[in-house]
Chain A
Amino acid sequence: MIEIKIAVCIKQVPGTTEIKIDPQTNTLIREGIENIINPFDAYAIEEGVRIRERFSSGEVEVIALTMGPPQSREILKEAISVGVDSAILLSDRAFAGADTWATSTTLAKAINKIGDCRLIILGKQTLDGDTGQVGPELAQRLGIPFIGYASSILEINRNKMKVKRLMEDRYETFEINLPAAISVVKDINTPRVPSLRGKMKAKSVEIPVWDAKQLEADEDEVGLSGSYTQVVKIFTPKIKHEIKMIEGSPGEQVEQLYKELKELNVI
């Protein structure tokens, strides 16, 4: 019997390594930017799978969820290939333009529809929106505790978990009752590469799609219509950048640098 059902929330994002700025128009050029699984979410998936591995077979079920356009199916397949049991795609034109509030509304409805999720694992933040707000807002909507920046799950059973979180200057260990939600940092594990079996499964797996109707969501509560924030302008920062190269022998370089630092009052 399934003791613990775990939902892992993941997002597809444009990989930022290739972003270039057109110097003439000062705009962004998307050229060959690949869509990837949000980097932190790979750690969330891995942690879900690792928790399952702590238990006997069949006791833990890990379900991956994403809200996004139809092409986000790809990252769910990736999740399957590294060991997630099943996946659900939340996709509807009405979900587009969601801020973190509307995103958490949609995710909360899906999690309630799945039913009896004991743990929800998210990434610390995304590459694109980069807010880190979906986790705490989702937990609040579900009325469950949230621990951000989880760096280690020390103990877990159906009703309780001990989890360590990383803050700027310390680690804090908490005990919380489940159901609960956590977001993970990179420190928590090292994600595995897909197995051959996993890849085969990902190829053939059926991924159900839930739309607004299936989630019983009003158009007014999801997507841009259901959002409290709206992006009104996007622009590239004007970088006024000047570099002073310090030449000479290492001794001269250091002496010159020392003088510059003195002038700037930093030493």
Chain B
Amino acid sequence: MEIKVNEETCTGCNLCKKVCLYDAIEIVDGKAVINENCVFCGACIEVCKLNSIEITGLKEEQKDFSDYSGVCVYLEANGDRIADVGFELVSEGKKLADQLGVKLSAVAIGSSIEKSALEAFQYGLDKLYFIDSPVFSDNLDDIFAKALVQVITRYKPEIFLAGATWFGRTLIPKVAAILKTGLTADCTGLAIDEEKKILLQTRPTFGGNILATIITRNARPQMATVRPHVMEKKKIMEDKGDYKDRIEYIEIDEKKFKSKYKLLGIEKELNENINITDYDVIVSGGRGLGGSEKFSMIKELAGLLGGVVGASRAAVDSGWISYPHQVGQTGKTVNPKLYIACGISGAIQHLAGMQTSDIIIAINKDPSAPIFKVANYGIVGDIFEVVPMLIKRLRDGKPLV
């Protein structure tokens, strides 16, 4: 396998060198030359107007995947409820299944989640595989992986989707590794290639600066984790109540589902909510706040909007608020309907974690702060004036001017 530049057609225009993030292209005597730093990311191939770059010698086995059919979605549970991302995936899976002309199924694993799982039928599900057992009451990755593998090997879907939650992003790679197939991480776009009938999986990388489309070659199912809050969940039918013939209860031998992990304890922060990825509104504070006590105003604003508190790394590193609140490349990736950045400059690593939010409001005293480049509404002003006024406006319901 090689990556080659066609010397006949290459004009040495330098475009490919400019896009290569891995320092792998040099222009020598007016021609592009690719060196050993290349990771085969394909960026240069895409950009060359003369189609002068090509990957050759990649063996494509012609495997027969005709026994794989259908789209299957994992309905991850959170307590006794299916997490929203599960329903989002059923809606998205429905579109893909319709395009391929195949059935849509889902797997739910847990204890006392049946009621919530049945809701998936309203989003267009054809079949539910359900494993109901108390052995699944905690997040023990290995036994969940084993259960998913059982379902997938038995029913052989051609596409398998799961939420890119923190649990999903450690569980699903295990499943993919056991099944010996590919996995595309944290997708924000899925489509079917009409001609080849394969799944095109698009995902942000390099902190959201680049989108990459990925295919699964030589293996099935085509597996992807999908970022929560990106796909739209849409009920397409009324609750019919009776789904008995569309549920398959899978019995497991509980003795064989002994986890290697011994869970010793769970701690939740009681007086603050740190599950910031789960909220529609996030109000974040940065270095501009100047101290931990100032976060109380951010908390109050978040509370009034029914949201949670986020933070920049500068605020976390200063010890003003705990790490689970950090948004950004080395914190959490969030995707709320409304993100309010207070006293945050908008460094690229912060933007990486929040720029896909639906609406971004930035409040900053510096009009040239980069946060305004991604914001939908900008207020140049002092957070210590603006935020308390906004709190007052929301709380008292009386116009300020």
Interface residues of A (CB under 8 A from B): 14, 16-17, 19, 21-22, 25, 27-31, 33, 35, 39-40, 69-71, 93-94, 96-97, 99-101, 104, 127-133, 135-137, 139-141, 145-149, 151, 162, 166-177, 185-187, 219-220, 223-225, 227-237, 241-246, 249-255, 257-258, 260-261, 264, 266-267
Contact = CB atoms under 8 A, between A and B. Distances in A.
A196 B265 CA distance: 42
A93 B40 CA distance: 11
B21 A130 contact: no
A121 B184 CA distance: 22
B400 A254 contact: yes
A97 B41 CA distance: 7
B197 interface: no
Contacts of B42: 231-234
A233 B46 contact: yes
B65 interface: no
Given A29-B19, A252-B401, 12 more contacts: A40-B330, A130-B185, A135-B173, A168-B276, A173-B264, A229-B183, A243-B372, A244-B377, A245-B380, A251-B400, A258-B390, A267-B305
Contact of A21 (B46, B178, B209, B349): B209
B385 A30 contact: no
B265 A250 contact: no
A14 B349 contact: no
Contacts of A168: 165-166, 274-278, 324, 332
Interface string B378-401: 111110011001100110000111
A249 to B, nearest CB: 8
Contacts of A71: 23, 37
B252 interface: no
B176 interface: yes
A237 B177 contact: no
A175 B265 CA distance: 10
Interface of B: 1, 15, 18-23, 36-43, 46-47, 55, 58-59, 139, 141-142, 145, 165-167, 169-171, 173-174, 176-178, 180-186, 200, 204-219, 260-268, 273-278, 280-281, 305, 323-324, 326, 329-332, 337-338, 347-349, 352, 359, 361, 372-382, 385-386, 389-390, 393-394, 399-401
Contact of B209 (A19, A131, A186): A19
17 contacts: A27-B19, A101-B180, A127-B207, A129-B205, A136-B141, A136-B171, A140-B173, A147-B261, A148-B169, A166-B323, A176-B262, A219-B1, A224-B55, A225-B1, A230-B215, A231-B42, A234-B212
A148 to B, nearest CB: 4
A131 B185 contact: yes
A187 B183 CA distance: 27
B210 A235 contact: yes
B18 A30 contact: yes
Contacts of B394: 258, 267
Contact of A255 (B265, B275, B381, B399): B399
Contacts of B213: 231-235
